[in-house]
Amino acid sequence: MKTPLVSCLTILVFLCSIAKGVQSDSNPAPSNVAGSQYPSLDSERRGTFEIKAPEASNVQVDLPQGNYDMQKGEEGIWRVTTPPIEPGFHYYSFRIDGALVFDPGSHAFYGASRHGSGIEIPEPGVDFYDVKDVPHGSLRSQLYFSSVTNSWRHLFVYTPPGYDLNLDQRYPVLYLQHGGGEDETGWVNQGKTDRILDNLIAEKKAVPMLVVIANGNLPRPEGIPFGYSLEGMVPFSEELLENIVPFIDENFRTEAKASQRALAGLSMGGGQSFIVGLANTDTFGSIGAFSTGLFGGIRRSGPFDAEAFVPGFVTQAETFNEKLEIFYLSCGEQDERIEFTQQVVSDFREHGHELAFNSFPGGHEWQVWRKSLRDFAQRIFR
């Protein structure tokens, strides 16, 4: 027979193990600032968010998947544990008595036209954008002069491992464009382009290449309404063809020919890549459009009129097939754009176009774009 002391100890050990179990299952998110315990994620990807707001009467956390009311606890700290969050990167904010604001616990990311909180949710079994024990390239932050805006503008250039040593080698170049409400930091901080390329190159799944990540936000020409149009695309087209590509060819050891240049982008950048890329197949030999709304959606009714955006696209498919090495579309499987993207893939193929299409689990979000980049980068420059 156990003594009361042993029983008490057994209960104590049991209670401690519960407490420990609950704690050890939940860890700070990888996107937290150093030392910050919240937001935390448990093994089911449930997020616990916390914010101190002693005098507030109503606090929510706003995630892409929904808004969650937080409960006030001791010392004015509000907290909520959400249902499981989809793997990948998500913007979020707090709403404190109606004010949309950002979390002191998280690093900040520029997107959705603000520089605010983001949370990284690891995807089980997915490590292609992790920092691994492989040779690492370099990411250069660089100013160049724009004749379009008459000002210095900023871009990033990823150079692969060995670029500074193999001085006789010249490299192909992928030009990679961000989405609306983002800037050139998107493919770096959210997209993890450098880590994706490091890993692909180490595994010999992609050839060593430069990746140029420029700011695709340019002033709209006067009188041109919001939305995709040939006229609206002129400033971006000029910036890319007359400023960015020449700057890169002059300052980096590139293979300066169409077969060794690709243009791709996500969402708005996908529309830019489609319109400007297909109009300039003498400059770009491969084109990728990830999750673009160009082909339909909210602002357009009726089927996508490819000929209006790319003269000759419907009538001279063979010309494009001859010029293009890779013509690639992708979309998230839960993105509202998936339906009309699949429709144009079918239409384009009916017109005689050779194109690759892939889809990935997820909505209009970075996890889809990371996977699109990984997929596209393996296909080009072969």
Residues that bind its own copies (CB under 8 A): 33-35, 51-59, 76, 93-94, 96-104, 106-108, 110, 113-116, 131, 136, 138-143, 152, 164, 167, 183, 194, 217, 251-252
Alpha-carbon distance of 210 to 347, in angstroms, equals 33
| Closer of 60 and 372 to its own copies (Cβ) | 60
Phi and psi at residue 102, in whole multiples of 5°?
A: -115, 160
Compute CA distances 297 → 83, 217, 266, whole Å. Answer: 29, 22, 16
Compute CA distances 225 → 222, 233, 268, 311, whole Å. Answer: 9, 11, 15, 21
Least distance to its own copies, CB of residue 192, Å: 12
Residue 61 β-bridge partners: 68, 94
| Closer of 174 and 326 to its own copies (Cβ) | 174
Least distance to its own copies, CB of residue 30, Å: 13
Burial class (CB in 10 A: 0-12, 13-18, 19+), 157: buried
The 3-state DSSP class for residue 366 equals helix
Residues ≥6 apart with Cβ < 8 Å to 69: 58, 59, 60, 80
| Closer of 138 and 147 to its own copies (Cβ) | 138
* 331 CB neighbour count, 10 Å cutoff: 29
Taking each helix axis from N to C end, the angle separating 193-202 and 366-379, rounded to the nearest 10 degrees, works out to 40
Quick check: 92 and 50 in contact, CB under 8 A? no
Least distance to its own copies, CB of residue 108, Å: 3
Least distance to its own copies, CB of residue 229, Å: 21
Least distance to its own copies, CB of residue 130, Å: 10
Least distance to its own copies, CB of residue 89, Å: 15
Query: Which H or E element spans position 19?
Result: helix 4-24
| Closer of 3 and 150 to its own copies (Cβ) | 150
| Closer of 247 and 328 to its own copies (Cβ) | 247
Least distance to its own copies, CB of residue 101, Å: 4
Residue 154 β-bridge partners: 143
| Closer of 218 and 331 to its own copies (Cβ) | 218
Least distance to its own copies, CB of residue 367, Å: 22
Burial class (CB in 10 A: 0-12, 13-18, 19+), 41: buried
